[in-house]
Chain A
Amino acid sequence: MAETVKLFVNGREVEVEAGKNLIDALRVVGIEIPHFCYHPALGADGNCRMCLVGIEDGRPPLVPACKTPAQPGMKVLLDDQKIRKIQRDIMELELINHPVDCPVCDQAGECRLQDYYMEYDLQDSRMRVPQVTKGKRMDFGCGVVHDQERCVLCARCVRFTRQITKTGELGIVNRSDQARVTIFPGRPLNNRYALNIVDICPVGAMTSRDFRFKQRVWFLQKDEGICHGCSTGCAIYIDHHREKNGDDVIYRYRARTNMQVNGYFICDAGRLSYKRENENRQDLTLVDGVVVDFEQGIAAALEKMNKARRPLLLVSPDATLEQMWAIKRIATFYGATLSGYSDAYRIDDDGDDFLISDDKAANRYSLELLEIDRDRESFQAALAHADLLVNFDNDLFFSPINESLQRLLGEQDRISVCSHQLPVFSGSSVILPCASPSEYGGSIINRHGVLQRFRRAVRRNADPRDILEITHLLGGAISSAERAWPGIRQSVPVLRSVEPEQIPVEGLLLNNSEERDVGP
């Protein structure tokens, strides 16, 4: 921790980081100060007044915690009767015109208004005049649906569009009880990060069209994950749920704070990429187009691999470091050529200077570290020469289909280990289903050289196997992600001292010197 200061909260001494405001500083030591408008990424706005705290001997005696830096010796009052009264009064003010529609509100269960009401207020309404009514279900664009009546006018969403995306689509119009968040007529939200607004809105005023009414949040199991949408590797929460007798279904991804990778936000495309995990999955094992048991599929693959004289193994740039290592090992075992060719995972000029990267592969960096060939020419030459292609979930047609490649593939005997039904895998003589990123764990390294580890989040009824397990069944030596590490450490100098279990949550920056240019 940086420089610290000692101060008192309700008479108890605590030591917190210097320079931070009271909300952030005290949160670290487990003291929550209620607030709506403050958000660490957006700064203090001081408009909601929910965070007022008392300062004994202070001048003035009441201050907004979001705008008050922690000072040595400060005596902060939080549990005082006077402060409680203020919090109750603010709650009452917020609730004057708020429709109490928690039973049908998507935010129920993660709504600050609801939480604070339960904690501080619990009063019946004293309002005897009709409530002010405002717009409902307003389509703000980019899949954001706004309910003006539920809004507490904290302006977080407005500040997000002005400070973070610099697109400024939102504003608060009118004044007093008519004030409302809106777009300029005819100019809806139009940026690639808009759904973060749903995350940062402290109440149910901003909801996601995609998620609305699909699931109650308290039924969701929230696991930590890493987005595989591009080489930035944003930290996410994977929210999923298994109905009784049903399959485990992912309902949404949300941004998870990681200051080393993505800060507080993720892009909309990455957020909606959870659909990929649910849809179009390859569940069946096929040999020559006939459905067989998984074991039979493995046996068929083994037979082909043992017979092949010039096998070519293809790795996906989305695979984990451990999976890549395991595939590299069986390539040696079979005397096979190994390629990580994956030009298709790149979309030129799609990236921006915030999070989105041109490179849509999650772990291309590791291909380079493991010295796996990524060259197009040598891949095509090897393909023309090979008598068997074993494709480990590499979608060569990720971006528009390359016809010469397609022709070459069509002539080749192929085994596909794949998580999804994609054109690139069709026509394979053996198809073995495998797990998709939410269903396995491992390590990936983002484009800036940050090594992050993630754990398995989802278990399905027809539980697909991790590629790593499949390589083991195909004769590979590596039987688990842990077993991959001694070999990885030995062959990759920058990983020599890495203990996978000790990689911090925010990841490990491998190379603080220059940014490495990792080409395909």
Chain B
Amino acid sequence: MRDRSQLQAAGQPFTFDAERNDEFERLCTRYPIRESMIMPALWLAQEQQGWISAEVIEYIAERLDTYPAKVYELATFYTMYHLRPVGTYHICVCRTLSCYLRDKQEIVDFITDEIGIKPGQVSEDGRFSLEEVECLGHCGTAPVVQINGEFHEEMNVEKLKAVLAHLD
């Protein structure tokens, strides 16, 4: 697990656009406990901006009348939140037990050697980013890789090469 506590600033304040704002208000009615809204709100912000900046955390804390430190806890706990801009293709490699035992490290090492990025990094051309994540819920078909939300099961280096070759 990488330390994800180094927040980045986007350099400008964040606000939801009209569409996300409506969705935010709609969801609020479904969560009687306001703080339960932190995760969906983070998700909406990530959808809009592509990543979670320090300003997003402050904005959400303010909207939900909670502490920035609390939003910060959740944003750093869940690897699905990107704490910096990601590449065009965001590659998530599961690092939890089943995948670990079935050689997820070979996949990570291959990406590091081939594309030159370690978990948490973005390639220089901005095409790829890599994150090691917690159990993706496909343990039966470990090891598992998720690229821009799409699952690739029973992965190995050969298969990954083929998948990467098909990306434009």
Contacts and interface: CB of A to CB of B under 8 A. Distances in A.
Contact of B72 (A161, A173, A176, A178): A173
A168 interface: yes
Contacts of B134: 175
Contacts of B72: 171, 173, 182, 184
Contact of A180 (B5, B7, B66): B5
A185 B69 CA distance: 9
Contacts of B70: 162, 168, 171
A171 B1 contact: no
A409 B55 CA distance: 57
A169 B69 contact: yes
Interface string B21-56: 000000000000000000000000000000000100
Nearest to A170: B69
Interface in B54-74: 54, 57-58, 66-70, 72-73
B2 to A, nearest CB: 7
Nearest to B4: A174
Which label, helix, strand, loop or mixed, suits the secondary structure of the A interface? mixed
A183 B76 contact: no
Contacts of B3: 174, 178, 180
Given A178-B1, A180-B5, A185-B54, A173 B67 contact: no
B77 A175 contact: yes
B69 A168 contact: yes
Contact-residue bracket for chain B: 10 to 19
Contacts of A168: 66-67, 69-70
Contact of B77 (A169, A173, A187): A173
Contact of B7 (A161, A162, A185): A185
Interface string A41-74: 0000000000000000000000000000000000
Contacts of A169: 67, 69
A177 B3 CA distance: 9
Contacts of A171: 67, 69-70, 72-73
Interface string B1-17: 11111010000000000
Nearest to B77: A175
Nearest to B68: A184
Nearest to A168: B67
A175 B1 contact: yes
Given A168-B69, A169-B67, A187-B68, A174 B1 contact: yes
Contacts of A187: 68-69
A185 B58 CA distance: 10
Q: Which 5 pairs between the two chains have the least Cβ-Cβ distance?
A: A168-B67, A171-B69, A173-B76, A184-B68, A171-B73
